[in-house]
Amino acid sequence: MNLFDVYPLNDITITSAKGSNVWDANGQKYLDLYGGHAVISIGHTNPHYVQRLTEQLNKVGFYSNSIKIPLQVQLAEKLGQVSGKTDYQLFLCNSGAEANENALKLASFYNGRKKIIAFKGAFHGRTSLAVACTDNPKIVAPVNETENIIFLPHNNEQALADEFAKHGNEIAAVILEGIQGVGGIKEASKSFLQKIRSLCDEYNAVYIVDSVQCGYGRTGLFYSHDWAGVNADIYTMAKGMGNGFPIAGISIAPKFKPWHGQLGTTFGGNHLACAAALAVLEVIEKDNLMKNAAEVGAYLIEELKKFEQVKEVRGRGLMIGIELPEELAHVKKDLLFKHFIFTGEAKPNVIRLLPALNLTKEHADEFLGAFKKVLSFT
């Protein structure tokens, strides 16, 4: 049997990892500024994380949600404390797409409506409703197509207000990334986030903030939307939540009242997943990683803006987009194969930096030095 060939692969095999570095099968060391799509939040093979998982695996790795799992309660309490949303409720699942699916479903249960507002440039996942809310027709199969999704221009308050004025009583939810990831590191403005909140309140729609990539402390705040000073009704999260172990969740406002069977999952919230997520939150809290993300990220953004060849630097904390002109499309590949630095990309020509939240200034300087060299030879 062959693998289903859906991923364009670099000819690199990673065999070990520690902190912000990984090593390939030939012993070559790399600086990891991508963290496997923003997943590695506390560094590769963090000792506390490894210990937490090992100890749990030696006790019990899995049992179903048909029994009490105290680790779930501990995780909910710790997540509420670190995120500042202590009165919210937690539902655990397995991936970002699944988190968004459940959030959208919960919104529709809440107000009995079908219409969802999403935005140009959005990426919310690849499953049924999540992919329908994703602004990429190429990955939306015919069976996923629905007339219930309304795409509006990003950061356009007037278009949003006009849509609510026309169809506000049909709108179940508004779903938005605080900073679009796949869309090119584009941040929602404070006034736009506040406008969504006020319109959802006025029309009894549900405000869903997709924090799968931009959340979990990456921007220096737990949820990137927090800088607007308003609460969402549902926060979705995944990538950095388990530092590589598959876990996701939705944080749900107290106004939602659950009933048995409303949502469900086989693997979500299993013992190992909860141990991984608890370890992540414990390290974020103990090592003050949100503060580090804010400080090192601000330093990187300031330094990157000094390069004349860079068209624009966008983002916040350690979620950074570097927009380059078309003639510098080779920079990402040169960083990887000539300077051994992993970065991400967003089309058409944006380099994405999504490193671990404990990235050091020394690692930032290593990247800046390599970036300068690559630009010098163009």
Query: Does the structure show a pLDDT above 70 at 219?
Result: yes
The neighbour count for residue 121, using CB atoms within 10 Å, is 20
- For the chain, what is the radius of gyration of the CA atoms? 21
Share above pLDDT 70 across residues of the chain, in percent, rounded to a whole number: 100
pLDDT of 254 > 70? The answer is yes
* Phi, psi of 375, deg, nearest 5: -70, -30
What pLDDT, in 10s, does the model give residues 157-170?
999 999 999 999 99
Using DSSP bridges, classify how beta strands 29-32 and 341-342 pair: parallel, antiparallel or unpaired: parallel
pLDDT, tens digit, 9 for 90 and up, residues 8-20: 999 999 999 999 9
Give 342-370 pLDDT, tens digit per residue: 999 998 899 999 999 999 999 999 999 99
Confidence category of residue 377, pLDDT binned at 50, 70, 90: confident
Query: By C-alpha distance, which of 354, 98, 331, 124 is closest to 218?
Result: 354
What are 46's two structure tokens?
Answer: 């963090």
Cα–Cα distance between 305 and 317 in angstroms, integer? 14
In whole numbers, what is the pLDDT of the chain averaged over residues? 97
User: What is the average per-residue pLDDT within 175-186?
Assistant: 97
Q: What is the DSSP string of 34-90?
A: SHHHHT-SS-BT-HHHHHHHHHHHTT-S---TTS--HHHHHHHHHHHHHHT-TT-EE
The enclosing H or E element of 206 equals: strand 206-210
| Nearest-5° Cα angle at 75, 68 to 256 | 80
pLDDT tens string 280-327:
999 999 999 999 999 999 999 999 999 999 999 999 999 999 999 999
Per-residue model confidence (pLDDT) at position 347: 85
Q: Kindly give, in sequence order, each residue whose CB lies less than 8 Å from that of residue 73, ignoring residues fewer than 6 positions away.
A: none
The phi-psi region of residue 153 (left if phi > 0; otherwise alpha if psi is between -120 and 50; otherwise beta) is beta
Residue 272 confidence (pLDDT) above 80: yes
The whole-number average pLDDT for the span 329-345 is: 96
Among all chains, which residue has been given the structure tokens 């049997």?
A: 1
Report whether 250 contacts 317 (CB < 8 A). no
Interacting residues of 369 by C-beta distance below 8 A, sequence separation 6+: none
Residues 6+ apart with CB under 8 A from 267: 62, 94, 246, 273
For every residue of 209-249, DSSP letters joined together read EE-TTT-TTTTSSSSGGGGGS---SEEEE-GGGTTTS--EE
Rounded mean pLDDT, 215-244: 97
For the cut 90, the answer to whether the pLDDT of residue 378 exceeds it is no
Cα–Cα distances in angstroms (integers) from residue 122 to residues 157, 174, 180, 296, in the given order? 16, 12, 6, 27
Over range 78-100, report the average pLDDT. 98
Contact indicator for 96, 236 with CB cutoff of 8 Å: yes
The rounded distance, in Å, linking the Cα atoms of 260 and 241 is 26
**Cα dihedral sign, 83-85-90-94:** negative
The alpha carbon of 258 is separated from its chain's Cα centroid by a whole number of angstroms, namely 25
Q: Nearest Cα to 252, choosing from 208, 213, 222, 287? A: 208
